[in-house]
Structure 1
Amino acid sequence: MNFQKTIIVTGSTSGIGLSIIEKFYEENFNCVIVGKAKSLDIKKLKNKFDTERTLILNLDLTKINNVKKLIILATKKFKKIDVLVNCAGMQVVESLEKYNESIWKKLLDINLNAAFYMTKYTLPVMRKNNWGRIINIASTHGLIASINKSAYTASKHGIVGLTKVTALETAKEKITCNSICPGFVLTELIQDQIDVLAKKFKLSNAKAQIKLLKDKQPSLRFVQKSHIADLIYFLCSNSASEITGANIPIDGGWTAQ
Structure 2
Amino acid sequence: ISQFIAIDDDSYEEVWDRHLDILLRAQTRTIRAALPHLRSSGAGRIVNIASTEGLGATPKISPYTAAKHGVIGLTRGLAVELARDGITVNCICPGAVRTAMTQDFPEEHKQIFAKRRVPLARYAEPEEVAHGTLNFVLPASSYINGAVLPVDAGLTIKNA
How many residue pairs are counted as aligned between the two chains? 157
Structure 2: distance between partners of 1:144 and 1:175: 28
SS at match of 2:112: helix
Letter of the aligned partner of 1:217 in structure 2?
V
Match of 1:201 in 2: none
Which structure is richer in relative contact order (CA contacts within 8 A, separation 6 or more)?
2
Q: 2:49 matched to 1:137?
A: yes
Structure 2: distance between partners of 1:248 and 1:169: 20
Cα deviation, residue 188, structure 1: 1.9
What is the root-mean-square deviation in Å for CA atoms of aligned residues?
1.6
Cα deviation, residue 124, structure 1: 2.1
Match 2:2 to one of 88, 91, 110: 91
Match 1:170 to one of 82, 92, 103: 82
CA contact (8 A) 2:48 2:91 kept: yes
Match of 2:22 in 1: 110
Cα deviation, residue 215, structure 1: 4.5
Match of 1:198 in 2: none
Give the 3 Å change call, closer, same or farther, for CA 220–116 of structure 1 in structure 2: same
Give the 3 Å change call, closer, same or farther, for CA 216–149 of structure 1 in structure 2: farther
Q: 2:118 matched to 1:229?
A: no
Q: Percent identity?
A: 36
Give the 3 Å change call, closer, same or farther, for CA 215–108 of structure 1 in structure 2: farther
Cα deviation, residue 134, structure 1: 0.5
Structure 2: distance between partners of 1:164 and 1:99: 33
SS at match of 2:103: helix
Cα deviation, residue 214, structure 1: 3.6
Cα deviation, residue 93, structure 1: 2.0
Deviates further, 209-218 or 164-173: 209-218
**Gapped runs of 5+ residues in structure 2?**
none
Structure 2: distance between partners of 1:152 and 1:218: 24
After superposition, the C-alpha distances for 1:164-187 in whole angstroms (9 at most, x for unaligned) are 011001223321110100100011
Match of 2:140 in 1: 239
Match 2:103 to one of 191, 211, 214: 191
Cα deviation, residue 228, structure 1: 1.4
After superposition, the C-alpha distances for 1:193-246 in whole angstroms (9 at most, x for unaligned) are x23xxxxxxxxx2x3222222443222111110011122222111111111101
Structure 2: distance between partners of 1:240 and 1:173: 16
Higher strand share: 1
Q: 2:58 matched to 1:157?
A: no
Give the 3 Å change call, closer, same or farther, for CA 99–178 of structure 1 in structure 2: farther
After superposition, the C-alpha distances for 1:117-152 in whole angstroms (9 at most, x for unaligned) are 111232122112212110111000111111121111
User: What is the TM-score when the length of structure 1 is the normalising length?
Assistant: 0.58
